[in-house]
Amino acid sequence: MATEDYNQPEEQSVQDSSMNWSWNFRDLLSGKILTAPFFRRQLFLFIFICAIAIFYIDNRYNCELQIAKINELQEQLTNAKYEALTTSSTLLQLSRESEVATMIKNKGLDLEEPIQPEIEITQP
């Protein structure tokens, strides 16, 4: 029983020293704080938190890249729509009957507009 009493104060002093450990700014700068029992026990938690932070930063960076690419593609799509609209309006303007007649006259071709309407042929 005497040996049990002898071990108890020793365990108590180890627990007390780990609980009363204090640090100052110099320990923080020198890195001694990382050897404290609290930090050694929580090492895997700190590593896990750092891994999650790196994953979060990487994910946000990739999302920003994708958003920039989406915006660029939307701008290209808008430009393509406007170009298609401009081309179709130009084609519609050039294919008007009066515009075709003006172009024929300007080029000096011997074509005339038909006076009679076209005849539709149907088979019985």
Identify whether 86 is part of a domain. yes
Q: Which two tokens stand for residue 107?
A: 């080029």
Identify whether 16 is part of a domain. no
* pTM of the predicted model as reported, rounded to 2 decimal places: 0.53
Identify whether 70 is part of a domain. yes
Identify whether 100 is part of a domain. yes
DSSP notation for 77-104:
HHHHHHHHHHHHHHHHHHTSHHHHHHHH
Q: Each residue of 25-77: pLDDT tens digit? A: 888 788 887 788 888 888 899 999 999 999 999 999 999 999 999 999 999 99
Identify whether 120 is part of a domain. no
Q: Each residue of 67-124: pLDDT tens digit? A: 999 999 999 999 999 999 999 999 999 888 888 888 888 888 888 877 888 888 888 7
Identify whether 27 is part of a domain. no
Identify whether 55 is part of a domain. yes
Q: How far apart are CA 91 and CA 89, in angstroms?
A: 5
Per the structure, the complete domain to which residue 84 belongs is given by 47-106
Q: How far is CA 37 from the centre of its chain?
A: 42
Identify whether 56 is part of a domain. yes
Domain count, the chain: 1
